[in-house]
Amino acid sequence: VIGAETNYGPFLGAVVIATGGFERHAQFRTSFLRGPAVGLAGAPGARGDGLLMGMSLGAALGNMSEAWWAPCIRVPGDSIDGEPLWRFLSLERASPGSIMVDQRGRRFCNEAGNYSDVGRALHSFDPNGFRFDRDPTWLIFDEEYRRSYGVASVLPGEPAPTWWKRASSIDGLAAELGVPPAALERTVSRFNDDAERGIDSEFGRGSSTYDRFVGDEARSHPSLGALKEPPYYALEVRAGLLGTKGGLKTDACARVLRVRGGYIKGLYAAGNASANCFGLAYPGAGGTIGPALAFGEIAGESAAAMR
Ligand SMILES: Cc1cc2nc3c(=O)[nH]c(=O)nc-3n(C[C@H](O)[C@H](O)[C@H](O)COP(=O)(O)OP(=O)(O)OC[C@H]3O[C@@H](n4cnc5c(N)ncnc54)[C@H](O)[C@@H]3O)c2cc1C
């Protein structure tokens, strides 16, 4: 194990850097990432140590502005190794009977889409207000939804915790959230009409196999359901990530490349410590661990052969 403060060279053999991402290194986070990154849902060890080690040896970096983006919520008191832990919002967005709205009370995407693309949508910037107008954003659902589905740490049918915002009407909820009541009324009413017809005319939610897979196939529509039964609830959603996706640039043998050309002999990298081969894309389930495993194996083989 190499510590971040160690004098790294010269290498006596082969070293594979697999120390995860850099999202818990505050300066790297603000220097490199393309959007706000408040909700950190990953391991507390992701402090960019591997990045520092490689950089100090002249490694090239790649894909540094990217992450496995995710809409995240914070359950009060949740922590991991003494640091705040955020939960990424997944099935809660996809089951029938919930929507997400921005600070103007409007939906802005197909909520059932994959976490990375929906998380990226939270980076929207409003130049007039000089603010990220979807961070925070709101997950909204009704009493029937609460009875039927788990939300964050709360199991289906369990009483709603006191930290959930709630109101007996949609405009009452809007007042709680500070969003324009008329806009939120319009949004819910349009979504409800669409849900009754089984077609999301705004964003096509439920039209893909992915949407239906992450929805509830026991329902008449796996992805769409009207919000009709008070009380109505809202949870604050923040722009976040599962892990960063940029790091040491490697070649097909997982060798770490030099910023001035060539590669650093004996140094390999894999996983979130390395520049991810998918760029800004999220390829699907397992798309995060998959390349980490594949390049981990390649790095091991290359290191054993000292390629
Ligand atoms: C909530 C959640 C759900 C996820 N679900 C999925 C999923 O369903 N499918 C999927 O494919 N991916 C999923 N992922 C993503 C996946 O977990 C990560 O992409 C993957 O763990 C990255 O692997 P890694 O080995 O690069 O980094 P990590 O798993 O972060 O491991 C790096 C390790 O290195 C340690 N370390 C750091 N610095 C040092 C140092 N100086 N010395 C020694 N050790 C150090 C860290 O403590 C850590 O244990 C999920 C992530 C989260 C947060």
Q: Is 152 exposed, middle or buried (0-12, 13-18, 19+ CB in 10 A)?
A: middle
According to the model, what pLDDT value does residue 306 have? 83
CA distances from 207 to 3, 68, 192, 214, 215 (A): 49, 24, 17, 12, 11
Which is the closest atom of ligand 1 to the Cα of 87? 1
Dump pLDDT digits (tens) for 263-279.
999 999 999 999 999 99
**Are the C-beta atoms of residues 288 and 295 closer than 8 Å to each other?**
no
pLDDT of 107 above 50: yes
- The pLDDT tens digits for 58-99 are 999 999 999 999 999 999 999 999 999 999 999 999 999 999
pLDDT of residue 201: 98
Q: Is the pLDDT of residue 285 over 90?
A: no
HEC profile of the chain: CCCCCCCCCCCCCCEEECCCCCCCCHHHHHHHCCCCCCEECCCCCCCCHHHHHHHHCCECEECCCCEEEEEEECCCCCEECCEECCEECCHHHHCCCEEEECCCCCCCCCCCCCHHHHHHHCCCEECCCCEECCCCEEEEEEHHHHHHCCECCECCCCCCCCCCEEECCHHHHHHHHCCCHHHHHHHHHHHHHHHHHCCCCCCCCCCCHHHHHHCCCCCCCCCCCCCCCCCEEEEEEEEEEEEECCEECECCCCEEEECCCCEEEEEEECHHHECCCCCCCCCCCCCCHHHHHHHHHHHHHHHHHCC
Q: Taking 90 as the threshold, does the pLDDT of residue 295 lie above it?
A: yes
Does residue 10 carry a pLDDT above 80? no
**For residue 8, pLDDT beyond 80:** no
- Give distance in angstroms: CA of 81 to centre of ligand 1: 15
Dump pLDDT digits (tens) for 250-264.
999 999 999 999 999
Structure tokens at 164: 């959930």
Residue nearest to atom 49 of ligand 1 (CA): 45
* Residues at CB less than 6 angstroms from ligand 1: 1, 3-4, 18-20, 41-43, 45-46, 49, 88, 242-243, 271-273, 286, 288-290, 292
Ligand 1 atom closest to 53 (CA): 41
Q: How confident is the model at residue 12 (pLDDT cuts 50, 70, 90)?
A: low
C-alpha separations of 37 from 33, 123, 124, 262 in Å: 8, 9, 13, 33
pLDDT surpasses 60 at 9: no
Residue nearest to atom 9 of ligand 1 (CA): 286
Residue 17 in contact with residue 268, Cβ under 8 Å? yes
Average pLDDT, integer, range 168-179: 98
> Is residue 177 a contact partner of residue 165, using CB atoms and an 8 Å limit?
yes
Q: How far is the CA of 254 from the centre of ligand 1 (A)?
A: 18
Q: State the distance from the centre of ligand 1 to the C-alpha of 19, rounded, in angstroms.
A: 8
Q: Which of 34-38, 58-62, 221-225, 302-306 has the lowest mean pLDDT?
A: 302-306
Ligand 1 atom 27, closest CA: 20
Asked if residue 3 has pLDDT above 70, the reply is no
State yes or no: pLDDT of 1 exceeds 80: no
Cα 189–chain centre separation? 28
For residues 304 and 101, which has the higher predicted lDDT (pLDDT)?
101
Residue whose pair of structure tokens reads 């971040």 in the numeric block: 4
Write down the pLDDT at residue 157: 83
Residues 175-207: tens digit of each pLDDT: 999 999 999 999 999 999 999 999 999 999 999
Q: How far is the CA of 221 from the centre of ligand 1 (A)?
A: 35
pLDDT in tens, 152-164: 889 998 999 999 9
